[in-house]
Structure 1
Amino acid sequence: MIRNQRGATLIIVLVLLVAITVIGSLAIRSSVLSLKVSTLSQAQQLLLQNSDAALFKIEDPDQLMKNMALNGMFGYIKGESNVGRELVFCFKSANANFFSLSNSSLISWNGSSIKNDGLGNTGFCKMESGFFTSGRSAVITQIAVKAMDAKDAVAFQHMQKGTDPESSKKDPAQMYTIYATSIFPNLSSPTDMKDSELKTAVNTCFNSRFNSIPSEKQNELSLDIANEDTKSKDPAASDEDKKASEEAKKKLELAAVTVSECLSKLGVPTHTQVANYALTQTLSK
């Protein structure tokens, strides 16, 4: 006797296989997402810890007098002549000394452009072996020291209450701002750049950008950018003049980008920690 085969069992098995496949895919996707979150959390902790480690070394009381000397990180950048400049050096694990003036660089303004050849270029961090903060070769940290403009200080803000500068024989306090910028290059977001191009771009962010641009300078750059934009759109201007104005505008726009902004645009995990210090010295004969 011939019976008709309906194949109900096959259909049920196929449905179960599809359900198992979907559930497995969702489980794998959830695991991958959890792994990424965990990795990013660990990376943020490493970035924060490296920035903290750099600030702890700067605050080391045993090194404070050395740092206040003329060739120290605070002593060198002190004074009105250095206002607006940034003393930059890389926090390297291989360096016996945390700071050395011979391994530092100076960034300053050259009109509306950035000048980065002060003290040479050995102070800037690079995406290369030997520039990492530890032997794990995971995080790179660049330090920038900046003296505060006296015009931005509030009167008597950093004087101890009831203290006379003459009788106490204390040098007027000098305000400094420290920028500790750490990156985790191995976790950079995928881009159209090749590895060599990304390294060059990261190095450029470190050696050709300010960590902070004063509001006065920012306003000046904004005005210059607006002027060059107007020139490039002037119907009466020649093609050569328009092209020159466009190039000048691009340079000004690049000058207005800070280190952290530059690195973030490249998709590089970045953490910048800012610390302000008021330092004073006791005068003696």
Structure 2
Amino acid sequence: MNRLSTQKGATLIIVLCVLILTAMIGAMIVRQSMTSLNIATNAQAKQLLFQSSDAALMKVQNASESLILTISGSLGRSMNSVSKSQEIVFCYQKNSADFFNVTRYSTIEWQDGASAPNGSISGTLGYCQVSQASRNFFTSGRNAILTQVSIQNIGTSTTSTESGAFTGHSLGTDAQSLNATAGGGNNTQSNQVIRVYAVSLMPSMSTASGAAINTCLNSHMNNPVVPTSSTPTEDSLKTISTCLNQLGVPFSTQYSDYNLVQNDLEGV
């Protein structure tokens, strides 16, 4: 009788050990699955952000000539801006009928003597906002991605920091035409160069508040140009990308330079 009880006790212990081992293996499998899912989700998010920024840049590249050159358009204002620090800003909305809307853009500029950029020079309608009851700023149907576009005049082909003997000049330019002589003087040809930034972000994949994200978008520049008369603060020198990165917001920033060549905008 005692022997039978001992056998039953040993069987129970074995069963319990098997159950514990099974539970441990199951937990490890679930944990591995969650890790794989997280990696897949991050990869998909990066791909979506890249595609959103790229789509915005392609819209600029394929924009109509009349839209680009008009003085009231965003690109036209950037090209005719005296200040090379100013950025023209608008929120890209994929399903909007108008890529550029002359009533919905903002400018941000570092003015002489200021300690930080001023993003309210022409209002704040151009900046993307995480939450806005009267208007949807998201590019995707599920309100997942915001894409903000900024345009900055970075000079002419002769003053641009981009390297290369013919960088910034129209196709077909040769050494002779580059330094063409007119009236006995040097008539070096040059084109206007603008830089277009596209910043896409996913606020829902971050714990940062909407207000903090909005501040990154409307108070920071992509390429801050500090006047010699200004004493900037450490925070004001942050770019939009740096600000979003410090908040832990997934984002993708892309930019492309364009030449204004005889009423045509050509990517370089």
Q: TM-score, normalized by length of structure 1?
A: 0.77
Query: Secondary structure at 2:98's aligned position in 1?
Result: coil
Counterpart in 2 of 1:137? 143
Give the letter for the 1:259 counterpart.
I
Match of 1:163 among 172, 177, 191: 177
Counterpart in 2 of 1:89? 90
Q: Percent of counterpart pairs with the same letter?
A: 35
Asked if 1 retains the 8 angstrom alpha-carbon contact of 2:69 and 2:263, the reply is: no
State the alpha-carbon separation in 2 of the partners of residues 52 and 121 from structure 1.
24
Asked if 2 retains the 8 angstrom alpha-carbon contact of 1:171 and 1:280, the reply is: no
> What RMSD in Å do the two structures reach over aligned CA positions?
2.9
Give the letter for the 1:209 counterpart.
H
Counterpart in 2 of 1:27? 29
Query: Secondary structure at 1:135's aligned position in 2?
Result: coil
Counterpart in 1 of 2:10? 8
Counterpart in 1 of 2:109? 108
Match of 1:183 among 185, 189, 201: 201
Match of 1:264 among 217, 222, 245: 245
Give the letter for the 1:50 counterpart.
S
Gaps of 5+ in 1: 226-251
Counterpart in 2 of 1:276? 257
Q: TM-score, normalized by length of structure 2?
A: 0.81
State the alpha-carbon separation in 2 of the partners of residues 15 and 173 from structure 1.
78
Structure 1 position 122 matched with structure 2 position 132: no
Deviation string for 1:200-233 (max 9, x for gaps)? 011111000011124xx39987xx46xxxxxxxx
Flag the 1:109–1:118 CA change in 2: closer, same or farther, 3 A.
same
Gaps of 5+ in 2: 182-187
State the alpha-carbon separation in 1 of the partners of residues 123 and 88 from structure 2.
11
Flag the 1:102–1:156 CA change in 2: closer, same or farther, 3 A.
same
Give the letter for the 2:151 counterpart.
V
Give the letter for the 2:124 counterpart.
N
Structure 1 position 149 matched with structure 2 position 164: no
State the alpha-carbon separation in 2 of the partners of residues 24 and 4 from structure 1.
33
Please state how far the C-alpha of 1:102 moved relative to its aligned partner. Answer: 1.6
Counterpart in 2 of 1:236? none
Flag the 1:44–1:19 CA change in 2: closer, same or farther, 3 A.
same
Give the letter for the 2:218 counterpart.
N
Flag the 1:157–1:185 CA change in 2: closer, same or farther, 3 A.
same
Deviation string for 1:116-159 (max 9, x for gaps)? 11221100000025000132211100000011134444676323
> Number of aligned pairs?
245
Give the letter for the 2:177 counterpart.
T
Give the letter for the 1:158 counterpart.
G
Flag the 1:282–1:256 CA change in 2: closer, same or farther, 3 A.
closer
State the alpha-carbon separation in 2 of the partners of residues 268 and 163 from structure 1.
48
Give the letter for the 1:96 counterpart.
A
Structure 1 position 212 matched with structure 2 position 193: no
State the alpha-carbon separation in 2 of the partners of residues 3 and 164 from structure 1.
105
State the alpha-carbon separation in 1 of the partners of residues 102 and 241 from structure 2.
24
Counterpart in 1 of 2:74? 73
State the alpha-carbon separation in 1 of the partners of residues 99 and 205 from structure 2.
26
- Higher share of residues assigned helix: 1
State the alpha-carbon separation in 2 of the partners of residues 109 and 177 from structure 1.
17
State the alpha-carbon separation in 2 of the partners of residues 76 and 31 from structure 1.
51
Please state how far the C-alpha of 1:95 moved relative to its aligned partner. Answer: 2.7
